[in-house]
Amino acid sequence: MATGTEREQWTPYILGIFCNWCSYAGADGAGTARMQRPAALRIVRVMCSGRVEPEMVFRGLKNGADGVIVSTCHAGDCHYVAGNYKTFRKGPIITKFLEQMGINPKRFRLTNVSASEGAELTEIINDFVE
């Protein structure tokens, strides 16, 4: 059984699956600007968020992630034209599957961030952790 101090020291492990062209660049910019974000965030860079499959989210949760953030380019800004639209359509499907499996759907978040929005991405991540 965990003591009070052990509970206070617990930090959630967050898996971030980020688009190379926008979200990852935004995270990189936030890091360069030394913006505070959770130490337990692990980022997986994909060339396009359209390549993110629901299985990747489920596997992340199964392998110990407390939450998964998938971040895409803004609508109309996809380097590969329509990859982010594919991901937008998958978001509700992932949420529905999580509910059906008895997993809190709040452990998944789909967001979109441009390369210049490092501060916004940091805020989204910190909000998700809370």
Domain boundaries, the chain: 10-129
Contact criterion met (CB below 8 Å) for 113 and 124: yes
* pTM for the model: 0.86
The stretch 94-123 carries a mean pLDDT of: 94
pLDDT on residue 25 = 86
Q: Rounded to an integer, what distance in angstroms lies between the CA atom of residue 92 and that of residue 123?
A: 23
pLDDT exceeds 90 at position 10? no
- Cα–chain-centroid distance for residue 94? 13
Confidence of residue 43 (pLDDT cuts 50, 70, 90): very high
Q: With respect to CATH, is domain 10-129 assigned 3.90.79.10?
A: no
Confidence of residue 5 (pLDDT cuts 50, 70, 90): low
81 class by beta-carbon count within 10 Å (0-12 exposed, 13-18 middle, 19+ buried): exposed
Which of the pair, 130 or 4, is modelled with greater confidence? 130
Give the H or E element holding residue 24.
Answer: helix 23-32
